[in-house]
Amino acid sequence: MFEFNALYNYVEDFDAGLDKNENLQHTIIKSRDIIELHIDHKMMGLGSVDSWGALPHDAYMIYPSDGYHYSFRMIPFSD
């Protein structure tokens, strides 16, 4: 399994943090002059890990384990 995303923002731009208030819940996110790339082996989901502490359903949990191994190689190229 391989998951990734590329954003013109920092992940923190999408979350007001622990001190959320009504003024920050519908903020317009403006693009930054960067690309933040996330490359993941596995991600928990479906059932939602959210800001109020709900966790995914058991079938979609990823528990700590020494059995996870992951590597990748990035090779630059040009047109």
pLDDT at 32: 94
pLDDT at 9: 92
DSSP single-letter state for residue 66: T
What residues pair up with 40 in beta bridges, in sequence order?
3
Give me the residues of the chain with pLDDT under 50, please. Answer: none
Residue with token string 């903020």: 27
d(CA 52, CA 55): 9
DSSP single-letter state for residue 25: T
pLDDT at 56: 80
pTM of the model: 0.55
